[in-house]
Chain A
Amino acid sequence: MIAPLLEIKNLHVGFDIYGGHLKVLDGVTFAVGKGAKVGLVGETGCGKTTTMKSVMRILPIPPGRLTEGEIFFKESDLLRVNLKKVRGVKGKGISMIFQDPTAALNPVFTIGRQLMDVVKYSKGAGENQAKDTIKDRAINALKDVSMPDPERIMENYPIQLSGGMRQRVCIAMALVTGSELLIADEPTTSLDVTIQDQVLRLLGNLVEEKRNSTILITHSLGIVREWTDRVYVMYAGSMVEAAPTKGLFSNPLHPYTQGLMKAVPKLTGEGIAEGVPGRIPNYLNPPSGCRFHPRCPHVMRICEQERPPFFNAGSDHQVACFLYKE
């Protein structure tokens, strides 16, 4: 079997705060194959963004602390090589679209300056490209994201653009790097509902066109279903289920995933969605054993004592729940 493009093994990350250590990531295991489109779903606060920030090595440390685990990108361990080299690797290989495009653009430089610098240092571009070539590539990148009047946008500062336009600029920046892996961290949550779909569709088409591997982080199952070919479900700092998208939606196994599915309102109008009762646990003193057990409708004695490992449940379908222990 060929090694995946990105592989996270048993990642533990915590934050030191008043009263102790928040164990936010509790053994995250995750892999993205070449050309794959992977979705990562879970409630707000379950550690999706922390995981990706760890991959990018942009986690604030301290108070953050990486206690255990490995992250491989193209077989080099991102946590062991030094930071400068990581950033080199990442620049050529992984790029990221952030939740909030307003925060992700430098407020005191024009769009053109920022975009042109990204082009200048992007993959495949020699350090000494002609200025005109850089500018052309930057303008083309803006055209790619269907930005009207790219020449004028180049001269604009972020505050002169609307939220949707800013996010398109961010998408343009992430794609123009020619990275093999694109991480999109809830790219539409901070946008108006009316343009969310538009931006998402644009991103989808572009990814299709450029054949990037993609990780889409979201809490919307609808988007995942439409978009991805493999889904990881995350709960309270670890993966609870991993399956091909179709398999997951036709046959959700983990009680948490089942709850999530029920939480989606249906067009058939069968009343209010059910959802998952309870809340995400306190990370200071997380529940013993399976972190989901206090909310689980099928809880068993063993769930309180042991952490469930991944069990194979069908083709390429893993689930971390004792219900599926053969």
Chain B
Amino acid sequence: MERSAHATFWSRKLEGFGRGWYKFSRNPLSIIGLIAVLLVSFLATFAPFVAPYPKHAGVFVNFAEASQPPSLRHLFGTDVVGRDILSRIFFGFRFSLMLGVVVLTLVVPPGVILGLTAGYFKGTWIDTVIMRITDIFVAVPPLILALAICSVLSPNIFHAMIAVSLMWWPWYTRLVYGLSSSLRNEFFVQAAEVTGASRLHILFKEILPNCLSPIFTKMSLDMGWVILIGASLSFVGLGVQPPKPGLGTMVADGRIYMPDQWWITVFPAFAIMLVVLGFNLLGDGLRDLFAVEEV
């Protein structure tokens, strides 16, 4: 008896997963996105093992092979001090992904909790305080404030993470606020209230689970945007600092050697596009997946 209930539970999970995968895989773009994300994650994680010249990630000089165009030896060419661009891109992925993961880890929990609270207490002073504060934070594009924060602290990747995180939480608060302020009027929430469930229970066990799909979708899309902002910060010189290989830093550094040594700039630029595209396609796939079935 026990066992069969267990079995149906898992077969239902499996059925749900199968249904989800079917929907997701119907769109080839989602699959491309998934592959791009997996590929980039793999390359970033195992960069020291898969990069052809792992030593080139840091301070390394070999003028004998400086400014080589793409060849079999250096697929994406070398930069002006002879470092392999491909290897540096792999390590660049590390910084990008690290930035994305750290920022989202820092941002999502407080953003979501504030949004839940403000939405549940909609119309009270709690709502007013929280939401007016988010108004202030979104009054200037995140990149600009992040630039300012990075500049007053000393520029490095760690401060870039803090800066972007400070600017990013209000978007989760706003998203969850919208969801939870409408969910709190649903019958299942009111039923829980009537039966005397605690506020914590209502917020986290009744409302939160119903907000998860949009949150996950936004997280996937945001990985792309956070990485893009990180690359922008690095591009201006306020993010990853040389000799560390930030993707934005590499694009900026190569700029002065245009157009003759185009590969120094162009390949890292493509690498940024690949990461952002991957997370975007994946996020769109997830959004379609979670969207309410039309038929």
**Could you say which residues of chain A place their CB within 8 Å of the CB of B23?**
18
Determine if A15 is an interface residue (Cβ-Cβ < 8 Å).
yes
Interface residues on B, range: under 10
Q: Which residue from chain B places its CB closest to the CB of A16 in the assembled complex?
A: B295
Chain B interface SS verdict (over half) = helix
Determine if B188 is an interface residue (Cβ-Cβ < 8 Å).
no
Interface residues of B in 9-24 (CB under 8 A from A): 18-19, 22-23
Determine if B260 is an interface residue (Cβ-Cβ < 8 Å).
no
Determine if A17 is an interface residue (Cβ-Cβ < 8 Å).
yes
**Could you say which residues of chain A place their CB within 8 Å of the CB of B18?**
18
Q: Check A60–B294 contact: CB distance below 8 A.
A: yes
Among A17, A18, A22, A64, max chain B CB count under 10 A is at A18
Q: Check B22–A18 contact: CB distance below 8 A.
A: yes
Nearest-Cβ distance from residue B7 to partner chain A, whole angstroms: 20
Q: Which residue from chain B places its CB closest to the CB of A62 in the assembled complex?
A: B295
**Could you say which residues of chain A place their CB within 8 Å of the CB of B294?**
60, 63
Determine if A19 is an interface residue (Cβ-Cβ < 8 Å).
yes
Nearest-Cβ distance from residue A67 to partner chain B, whole angstroms: 16
Q: Check B22–A19 contact: CB distance below 8 A.
A: yes
Interface size on A, residues (CB 8 A): 8
Q: Which residue from chain B places its CB closest to the CB of A15 in the assembled complex?
A: B295
Interface residues of B in 251-295 (CB under 8 A from A): 294-295
C-alpha gap A52/B19 in the complex (Å): 30
C-alpha gap A17/B18 in the complex (Å): 13
Q: Which residue from chain A places its CB closest to the CB of B21 in the assembled complex?
A: A18
Among B18, B22, B295, max chain A CB count under 10 A is at B295
**Could you say which residues of chain B place their CB within 8 Å of the CB of A17?**
295
**Could you say which residues of chain B place their CB within 8 Å of the CB of A22?**
295
Nearest-Cβ distance from residue A277 to partner chain B, whole angstroms: 26
C-alpha gap A19/B22 in the complex (Å): 8
Interface residues of B in 109-164 (CB under 8 A from A): none
**Could you say which residues of chain A place their CB within 8 Å of the CB of B295?**
15, 17, 22, 63-64
Q: Which residue from chain A places its CB closest to the CB of B295 in the assembled complex?
A: A15
Nearest-Cβ distance from residue A43 to partner chain B, whole angstroms: 18
**Could you say which residues of chain A place their CB within 8 Å of the CB of B22?**
18-19
Interface residues of A in 1-29 (CB under 8 A from B): 15, 17-19, 22
C-alpha gap A63/B293 in the complex (Å): 11
C-alpha gap A18/B294 in the complex (Å): 12
**Could you say which residues of chain B place their CB within 8 Å of the CB of A60?**
294
C-alpha gap A150/B241 in the complex (Å): 71
Q: Which residue from chain A places its CB closest to the CB of B22 in the assembled complex?
A: A18
C-alpha gap A63/B26 in the complex (Å): 12
**Could you say which residues of chain B place their CB within 8 Å of the CB of A63?**
294-295
C-alpha gap A22/B295 in the complex (Å): 10
Interface residues of A in 93-140 (CB under 8 A from B): none
Nearest-Cβ distance from residue B30 to partner chain A, whole angstroms: 15
Nearest-Cβ distance from residue A150 to partner chain B, whole angstroms: 36
Q: Which residue from chain B places its CB closest to the CB of A60 in the assembled complex?
A: B294
C-alpha gap A19/B295 in the complex (Å): 13
**Could you say which residues of chain B place their CB within 8 Å of the CB of A15?**
295
Binary contact track B212-253/A, C-beta < 8 Å → 1, others 0: 000000000000000000000000000000000000000000
Q: Which residues of A contact B (CB under 8 A)?
A: 15, 17-19, 22, 60, 63-64
10 pairs, A vs B, C-beta closer than 8 Å: A15-B295, A18-B18, A18-B22, A18-B23, A19-B19, A19-B22, A22-B295, A60-B294, A63-B294, A63-B295
Closest 9 CB pairs of A and B: A18-B22, A15-B295, A18-B19, A63-B295, A17-B295, A18-B23, A19-B22, A60-B294, A19-B19
* Known A18-B22, A19-B22, A63-B295; 10 more pairs at CB < 8 Å: A15-B295, A17-B295, A18-B18, A18-B19, A18-B23, A19-B19, A22-B295, A60-B294, A63-B294, A64-B295
